[in-house]
Every structure is written in C-alpha cells, then in structure tokens.
Amino acid sequence: MIGKMLKKLRSDKGYNQTELAELLNIAQTTLSGYETNYSNPNFDTIESIAKLCGYEIVFRKVNTKEEFTTKTIERVDIK
C-alpha cells in the first residue's frame, strides 16, 4: 500500500525514480523496492519523500477529526 502512495507522490511531482533517489541520497533500486513493496521505508524516509514532492503528512483522529502534523507535534526519539 505505501508503495503505491510513494509512487503517486513521485509521479505527481514529475520525478523519475533516479531523480528522487538522488535527492534522497539513496540508490534508485532502494526507491524501486519501496514502490513495489519489496522493502519498507522508515517514517523519516516517507516524510522526506512527501516533503520533496510537495506533500505534508497529516494525522487525523477519527472520532474528533482533530489533526496534527510532524510540524505541530513535538517529536521525541524513544530509546
């Protein structure tokens, strides 16, 4: 599922896999693996792809419709 979404983001922005992979500093084959669901990117990679393609990740609470983004919530690494 995430692979289809990542491919759509990339395609909507007009990047080919090689161009986006270079911007992400990853191999084109790695990006291809994400898009075909052969491997799964971590959240930071998903967020980077979204930003480079002009999107923002929004979390919406189902019952209240409250929304937040990675910009509006303090992110703390769990050790």
Give me the helix-helix angle, 17-24 and 2-13, nearest 10°. Answer: 100
Return d(Cα 38, Cα 76) in angstroms, integer: 29
Domains and CATH numbers, the chain: 2-69 (1.10.260.40)
Q: Which tens digit of pLDDT belongs to each residue from 45-76? A: 999 999 999 999 999 999 998 888 888 776 55
Distance separating alpha carbons of residues 49 and 31, to the nearest angstrom:
10
Note the pLDDT tens digit of each residue in 14-27.
999 999 999 999 99
Please give the biggest Cα pair distance in the chain.
41
Model confidence at 78, pLDDT cuts 50, 70, 90, reads very low
How does DSSP classify residue 38?
S
Give me the pLDDT at residue 70, please: 81
- Choose between 27 and 1: higher pLDDT: 27
Return the half-sphere exposure (C-beta side, CA atoms, 13 A cut-off) of residue 29: 0
Q: Higher pLDDT residue, 9 or 75?
A: 9
